[in-house]
């Protein structure tokens, strides 16, 4: 965490800079006064206003811009949003660059020096370096994908691309060490079988599973939400179920896995539930915020256990719907563990999204591994 002093500094610098900016913009145009060694923007009247030397006013004015970056970085680190971190690091860099331009003008154009401009520039650079240091720490703590955050490998993993069904190639990850391992059909988010899903397949395989990441989009991976939405809408559910059934068969008869489970996120979570309802070989199904069907008679046909992972701030899946889903599983005597995480929304386990919640993600993954160990590994021991 960033020390409270950094946040306080950012607040004070920002407040002082905004005050000076507003007062000056009302009294005269924002122009660059080049006199006596580049007396830029800051006028001596502000020195008298605050009762401090010109140098202090300069530090507040120029340093305040980068103070905004530092302040934002503090909030960004608490929220773990890399996109905004990059934005405000850019603000800090821009202010530092502006100060560099001032020094260049003084040294090579005016060939004279303004002491408080130099002090301002120095303060700006110092704050920028502080922002860079904070950003570095933040990036170290923010995983680029879930696998980076969840890595605790037990086995070395071998990977390959396999033709498990006509017109679809899946990503297979399994322990290099020989032996009988449980199989897991992994179903991608609405983005498709991208590198993040492949990394998750490798991470799960490193825990002692043969993982086949299925592809329900025929090889296409979406980069934009509109395209992902269109791909979801284009999925023929009967064909999707047949695709996943073929993945189960591949694991059972080509990889010789004695038991099979399934896991999916978002779109893939709903598909994993569909697979569990239509294949009696599925002994464990993990559903990360997939649509919980509550009035489908096929729910009673599930023969394995169900682990549900949801957030109570999910605007697409109300808590009441999750509770009804849980009740229906209980009524059907299906072993279930339904977890509703407080304060998190949809796709909270996706590190590239605005709803990413690292602590909830780690806890959910721990529950996932415990669940699979209980229903897939334990029967083999």
Instruction: Return residue ranges of the chain for CATH 3.40.50.1820.
Output: 146-380
Could you name the CATH architecture of 146-380? 3-Layer(aba) Sandwich (3.40)
Residue 346 DSSP code = T
- SS3 of 31, please? coil
Q: In this predicted model, what pLDDT tens digit does every residue of 187-218 receive, in sequence order?
A: 999 999 999 999 999 999 999 999 999 999 99
What are the structure tokens assigned to 84, written together? 């905004």
Q: Which of 255, 254, 270 is nearest to 321 (CA)?
A: 270
Confidence at 94, pLDDT banded by 50, 70, 90: low
Instruction: Return residue ranges of the chain for CATH 1.20.1440.
Output: 4-141
What are the structure tokens assigned to 335, written together? 């072993």
CA dist., res. 71 & res. 177, Å (int):
50
H helices of 144-236, where? 146-150, 195-205, 225-234
| Count of beta carbons in the 10 Å neighbourhood of residue 161 | 11
Asked if pLDDT for residue 226 goes beyond 90, the answer is: yes
Asked if pLDDT for residue 132 goes beyond 90, the answer is: no
Distance (Å) of CA 11 to CA 16, 17, 65, 70, 297: 9, 10, 11, 9, 58
**Environment class of 32 (CB within 10 Å of its CB; exposed 0-12, middle 13-18, buried 19+):** exposed
Q: Identify which has the larger pLDDT, 153 or 325.
A: 325
Give me Rg for the CA atoms of the chain: 28
Q: In this predicted model, what pLDDT tens digit does every residue of 227-271 receive, in sequence order?
A: 999 999 999 999 999 999 999 999 999 999 999 999 999 999 999
Q: Identify which has the larger pLDDT, 381 or 37.
A: 381
Residues in the chain: 381
Q: Which fold has domain 4-141?
A: de novo design (two linked rop proteins) (1.20.1440)
Q: In this predicted model, what pLDDT tens digit does every residue of 50-66 receive, in sequence order?
A: 444 444 445 455 555 55
**CB proximity list for 183: less than 8 A, separation 6 or greater:** 209, 210, 211, 212, 248, 251, 252, 255, 257, 259, 260, 261
**Mean pLDDT in residue range 264-287:** 96
Phi/psi of residue 28, nearest 5 degrees: -160, 160
CA dist., res. 27 & res. 21, Å (int):
10
CA torsion sign, 344 to 347 to 353 to 356? positive
Residue 318, pLDDT score: 93
Torsion of CA 371, 141, 346, 185, to 10 degrees: -40
Q: In this predicted model, what pLDDT tens digit does every residue of 67-85 receive, in sequence order?
A: 555 555 555 444 444 445 5
Residue 366, pLDDT score: 94
Q: Which of 120-129, 195-204, 312-321, 323-332 has the lowest mean pLDDT?
A: 120-129
- SS3 of 335, please? coil
Mean pLDDT score across all residues of the chain? 77
Q: Are 199 and 227 in contact (CB under 8 A)?
A: no
Helices 4-27, 54-79: crossing angle, 10 deg rounding = 130
Q: Is the pTM of this model over 0.75?
A: no
N-terminal to C-terminal alpha carbon distance within the chain: 44
In the chain, DSSP finds a helix count (H) and a strand count (E) of 12, 8
Residue 357 DSSP code = -
């Amino acid at each position: 965490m960033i020390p409270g002093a950094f946040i306080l500094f950012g607040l004070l610098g920002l407040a002082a800079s905004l005050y000076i900016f507003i007062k000056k913009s009302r009294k005269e145009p924002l122009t660059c006064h080049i006199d006596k060694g580049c007396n830029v923007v800051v006028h001596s009247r502000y020195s008298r206003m605050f009762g401090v030397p010109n140098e202090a006013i300069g530090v507040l004015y120029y340093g305040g811009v980068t103070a905004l970056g530092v302040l934002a970085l503090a909030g960004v680190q608490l929220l773990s949003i890399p996109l905004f971190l990059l934005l405000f690091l850019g603000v800090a860099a821009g202010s530092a660059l502006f100060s560099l331009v001032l020094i260049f003008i003084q040294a090579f154009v005016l060939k004279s020096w303004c002491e408080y401009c130099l002090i301002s520039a120095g303060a700006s650079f110092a704050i920028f370096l502080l922002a860079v240091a904070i950003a570095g720490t933040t990036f170290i703590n923010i995983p680029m994908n879930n696998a980076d955050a969840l890595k605790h490998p037990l086995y070395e993993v071998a990977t390959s691309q396999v033709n498990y069904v006509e017109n679809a190639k899946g990503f297979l990850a399994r322990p290099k060490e020989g032996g009988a391992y449980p199989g897991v059909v992994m179903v991608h988010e609405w983005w498709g079988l991208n590198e993040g899903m492949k990394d998750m397949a490798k991470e799960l395989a490193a825990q002692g599973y043969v993982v086949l990441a299925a592809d329900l989009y025929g090889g296409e991976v979406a980069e934009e939400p509109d395209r992902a939405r269109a791909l979801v809408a284009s999925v023929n559910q009967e064909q999707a179920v047949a695709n996943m059934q073929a993945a189960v068969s591949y694991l059972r008869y080509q990889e010789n896995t004695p038991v099979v489970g399934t896991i999916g996120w978002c779109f893939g979570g709903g598909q994993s539930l569909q697979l569990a309802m239509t294949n009696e070989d599925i002994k464990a199904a993990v559903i990360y915020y997939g649509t919980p069907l509550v009035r489908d008679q096929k729910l009673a046909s599930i023969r394995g256990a169900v682990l549900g992972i949801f957030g109570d701030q999910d605007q697409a899946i109300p808590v009441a719907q999750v509770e009804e889903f849980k009740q229906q599983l209980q009524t059907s005597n299906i072993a279930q563990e339904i977890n509703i995480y407080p304060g998190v929304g949809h796709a909270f386990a996706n590190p590239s999204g605005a709803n990413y919640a690292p602590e909830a993600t780690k806890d959910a993954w721990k529950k996932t591994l415990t669940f699979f160990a209980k229903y897939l590994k334990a029967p083999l021991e």
